[in-house]
C-alpha cells in the first residue's frame, strides 16, 4: 500500500493548473506542488491580482485564493518537487509534430520524454507516475522504458505508471473536475491504482471510477474526443445542406437530439471546432491506424478534420461573396477570438484562419474578445503567416484590437460573430444600425441573434445553417 502525502504536477497549463487546484481543495491533507519550466507562467499563477492568472476559467480564481499557500504551491523548482513527491502527474504540452516521421499527425513527445528523464533521475523511493496529458497510445510504455533505464539510476527507486486522462473541457473545467461523468484509471499495479482511486474518493463517488488496462485508458481518451469532434463535423456538414435547401440547422439539431439514442449535446453547429485536443487527438488516431495498416480507418477519421477545415473556409468564402467579392477598404469587426466562450485559450480557434483569410483579401479587421489579450491575438495571426501574402507579413497595420465591443463595431461594413460569449447576445443592434456603413452584413456563425430583429433594422444577416434566408 502506498501512502500519498506529496503530489507534484509537472506542467502549469490549462490542464495542470485547474486540475491541481480542485485536487488541493478536496484533499486538504495532501500537499500539492505545480511546477513548470516557464517562469513567467509560475509568476502569473502566484500573482496577488487574481485577474492575472494565466488561465481564465470560471470559478478558478476563488479556488486558487482558498488553496494557494495552504496546500498548493506553484514553483519552478522541479528538482525539489520531484524528489519529495509520492505521486507525479505529467501535464505537459503534447502538440502535433511539425517535422520528421509522423509530422502533422502524431504528437511531439519531447516534453513528455524530458519529464520522464527528469523523474527517472531525481525521484526517490517509490513514485507513482500518472499520465494526465492526452498521449498517443503506448506512451506509457515509453515512460516506463525511460524510468527503468540504467541512465536513470534504478538503485533504491521504483515506479508505477498510471494513465488518468483528463476529460475537462475548457470554460467548464471546474465543474467538470468537481463532478465528472467518470474518472478513468488505467494501469497494471493494483496498489498504485488504489492509491489514486482513494485520492478521488475525497469528492467523487466510487461508482464513477473506472479501471482499465493502460492501453484502453490511453485509447479511450483519444476516442472520446474523436467521437465528440465527429458529432460537430456531422452537424456542420448538415448546416451546409440546410443553407442549400431552406432547412434550419437548429430545428434539425433539436429534432434529432430528442432521439434519446442521439441525445442533444454537441449538436451546435458553428464555425468549426477548435481547442488543443480535438484535432490533435483525431490526427493521433489517424497516425495510429496507418501505423497498423488500417488505411480505411485512417481515412475515415481524417475526414472529420477535413470537414472542420472546410467549415472555416466556407464561412470566410460566404463573407467575401456577400461583400461583393471585395474586402479592400472595408472594416470587418471580428467578435470573439477564443475557440469558445469562457476561456482565454486560442489554440486551433477557427477565428485564426478566418481572420488570416480576411486579412489576405485586404480587409481591415477590428478584433474584440472578452478574455484574449492583444498580444496573444498578434502572436496567433503572425506566427505562421503561411496564407498571408508577403505584403501582409510586413504590414501589420491592417488590424486592431479593441477592448470595447462598440469601438470594434463602429463604422464597420460587417460584423462576424465567431465566439459565443454571452455579451454578444446582448448587443444593442439599434445602436449598431446607426453607426455602421451600409449595406451592412452581420455574419452570425453561432446562432446568437434573432434574425428578424436584425432584418427589421434594415441590416443584412447571414446565419450559419439557416436556409430560410435565401
Per CB under 6 A, residues contacting ligand ADP are 10-16, 35-38, 41, 78, 91-93, 111, 114-115, 133, 276
Say whether 212 sits in a helix, a strand or coil.
Answer: strand
Helix (H) or strand (E) holding 424, with range, is none
Block residue for cell numbers 510504455: 141
- Which H or E run includes 144? helix 139-147
- Whether 2 and 86 have beta carbons less than 8 Å apart is answered as yes
CA atoms within 13 A on the CB side of 139: 33
Least distance to ligand UDX, CB of residue 291, Å: 23
User: Residue 173 or residue 417: which is nearer to ligand ADP going by CB?
Assistant: 173
Rank residues 169 and 457 by Cβ distance to ligand UDX and give the closer one.
Answer: 169
- CB of 340: closest distance to ligand UDX in angstroms? 4
232 binds, among ligand ADP, ligand UDX, none (CB under 5 to 8 A by kind): ligand UDX
Identify what 166 binds: ligand ADP, ligand UDX, none; CB under 5 to 8 Å per kind.
Answer: ligand UDX
Give the sheet arrangement for strand 460-463, strand by strand: 399-401, 364-368, 331-335, 414-417, 441-444, 460-463
Binding site partner of 115, from ligand ADP, ligand UDX, none, Cβ cut-off 5-8 A by kind: ligand ADP
Q: How far is the CB of 337 from ligand UDX (least distance, A)?
A: 12
Query: Which triple of cell numbers denotes residue 113?
Result: 520524454
Please state the φ and ψ torsions of residue 38, each to the nearest 5 degrees: -85, 105
Closest separation in Å from C-beta 165 to ligand ADP: 11
8 Å CB contact between 9 and 33: yes
Between 64 and 417, CB nearer to ligand ADP: 64
Class of residue 373 by CB neighbours under 10 A (exposed 0-12, middle 13-18, buried 19+): middle
The binder of 37, among ligand ADP, ligand UDX, none, by C-beta within 5 to 8 A per type, is: ligand ADP
Burial 165-193 (b: 16+ CB within 10 A, else e): bbbbebbbbbebbeebeebbbbbeeeebb
Residue with Cβ nearer ligand ADP (52 or 437): 52
Q: How far is the CB of 397 from ligand ADP (least distance, A)?
A: 31
Residue in the block written with cell 485564493: 65
* Closer residue to ligand UDX in complex, CB, 119/417: 417
Least separation in angstroms between CB 290 and ligand ADP: 24
159 has which bridge partners? 127
Helix, strand, or coil (residue 116): helix
Torsion angle in degrees (nearest 10) through CA of 188, 194, 196, 199: 170
Contact criterion met (CB below 8 Å) for 338 and 346: yes
The distance of Cα 217 from the centroid of its chain, to the nearest Å, equals: 20
C-alpha radius of gyration, the chain, whole number: 24
Position with the least CB separation from ligand UDX:
275
Q: Footprint of ligand UDX on this chain (CB under 6 A)?
A: 166-170, 225, 228, 232, 266-268, 270, 273-275, 277-278, 339-340
- Of 122 and 285, the one with the shorter C-beta distance to ligand UDX is 285
Among ligand UDX, ligand ADP, none, partner that 92 touches (CB below 5 to 8 angstroms by kind): ligand ADP
Q: Is-catalytic flag, 277?
A: yes
Query: Which cell numbers in the block locate residue 282?
Result: 483525431
Q: Are 42 and 76 in contact (CB under 8 A)?
A: yes
Pick one of ligand ADP, ligand UDX, none as the site partner of residue 268 (Cβ within 5 to 8 A by kind): ligand UDX
Q: For 395, which DSSP code?
A: -
The answer to whether the Cα torsion of 133, 136, 140, 144 is positive or negative is negative
Output 46 or 223, the one with its CB closest to ligand UDX.
223
Report the SS3 class of residue 54. Answer: coil
Q: In whole angstroms, how close is the CB of 434 to ligand ADP at the nearest point?
A: 42
Partner from ligand UDX, ligand ADP, none binding residue 336, C-beta < 5-8 Å depending on class: none
12 contact choice in ligand UDX, ligand ADP, none (CB below 5 to 8 Å, kind-dependent) = ligand ADP
Helix, strand and coil in the chain, % to nearest 5: 45, 15, 40
Cβ proximity to ligand UDX: between 159 and 424 the closer is: 424
Least CB distance from residue 255 to ligand ADP, whole Å? Answer: 35
Question: Of 115, 152, 242, 277, which residue is the catalytic one?
Answer: 277
Residues designated catalytic: 277
Amino acid at each position: 500500500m502506498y501512502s500519498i502525502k506529496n503530489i507534484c504536477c509537472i506542467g502549469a497549463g490549462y490542464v495542470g493548473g485547474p486540475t491541481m487546484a480542485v485536487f488541493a481543495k478536496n484533499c486538504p491533507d495532501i500537499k500539492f506542488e505545480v511546477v513548470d519550466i516557464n517562469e513567467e507562467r509560475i509568476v502569473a499563477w502566484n500573482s496577488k491580482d487574481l485577474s492575472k492568472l494565466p488561465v481564465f476559467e470560471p470559478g478558478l480564481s476563488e479556488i486558487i485564493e482558498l488553496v494557494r499557500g495552504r496546500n498548493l504551491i506553484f514553483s519552478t523548482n522541479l528538482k525539489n518537487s520531484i524528489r519529495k513527491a509520492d505521486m507525479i502527474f505529467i501535464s505537459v504540452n503534447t502538440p502535433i509534430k511539425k517535422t520528421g516521421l509522423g509530422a502533422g499527425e502524431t504528437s511531439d513527445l519531447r516534453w513528455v520524454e524530458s519529464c520522464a528523464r527528469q523523474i527517472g533521475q531525481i525521484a526517490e523511493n517509490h513514485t507513482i507516475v500518472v499520465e494526465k496529458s492526452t498521449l498517443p497510445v503506448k506512451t506509457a510504455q515509453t515512460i516506463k522504458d525511460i524510468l527503468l533505464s540504467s541512465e536513470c539510476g534504478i538503485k533504491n527507486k521504483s515506479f508505477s505508471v498510471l494513465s488518468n486522462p483528463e476529460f475537462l473541457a475548457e470554460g467548464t473545467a471546474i465543474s467538470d473536475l468537481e463532478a465528472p461523468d467518470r474518472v478513468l484509471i488505467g494501469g497494471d499495479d493494483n496498489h498504485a491504482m488504489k492509491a489514486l482511486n482513494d485520492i478521488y474518493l475525497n469528492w467523487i463517488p466510487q461508482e464513477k471510477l473506472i479501471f482499465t488496462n493502460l492501453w484502453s485508458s490511453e485509447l479511450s481518451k483519444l476516442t472520446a474526443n474523436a467521437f465528440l469532434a465527429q458529432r460537430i463535423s456531422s452537424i456542420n456538414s448538415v448546416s451546409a445542406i440546410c443553407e442549400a435547401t431552406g432547412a434550419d440547422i437548429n430545428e434539425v439539431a433539436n429534432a434529432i437530439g430528442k432521439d434519446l439514442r442521439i441525445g442533444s449535446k454537441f449538436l451546435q453547429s458553428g464555425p468549426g471546432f477548435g481547442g488543443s485536443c480535438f484535432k490533435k487527438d483525431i490526427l493521433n488516431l489517424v497516425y495510429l491506424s496507418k501505423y497498423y495498416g488500417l488505411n480505411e480507418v485512417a481515412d475515415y477519421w481524417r475526414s472529420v478534420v477535413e470537414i472542420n477545415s472546410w467549415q472555416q473556409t466556407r464561412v470566410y468564402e460566404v463573407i467575401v461573396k456577400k461583400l461583393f467579392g471585395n474586402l479592400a477598404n472595408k472594416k470587418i469587426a471580428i467578435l470573439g477570438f477564443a475557440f469558445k466562450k469562457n476561456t482565454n485559450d486560442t489554440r486551433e480557434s477557427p477565428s485564426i484562419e478566418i481572420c488570416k483569410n480576411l486579412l489576405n483579401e485586404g480587409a481591415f479587421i477590428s478584433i474584440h474578445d472578452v478574455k484574449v489579450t492583444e498580444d496573444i491575438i498578434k502572436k496567433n495571426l503572425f506566427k505562421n503567416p503561411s496564407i498571408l501574402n508577403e505584403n501582409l507579413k510586413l504590414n501589420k497595420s491592417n488590424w486592431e484590437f479593441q477592448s470595447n465591443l462598440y469601438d470594434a463595431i463602429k463604422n464597420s461594413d460587417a460584423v462576424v460573430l465567431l465566439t459565443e460569449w454571452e455579451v454578444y447576445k446582448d448587443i444593442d443592434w439599434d445602436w449598431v444600425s446607426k453607426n455602421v456603413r451600409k449595406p451592412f452584413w452581420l455574419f452570425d456563425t453561432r446562432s446568437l441573434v434573432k434574425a428578424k430583429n436584425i432584418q427589421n433594422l434594415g441590416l443584412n444577416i447571414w446565419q450559419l445553417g439557416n436556409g430560410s434566408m435565401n
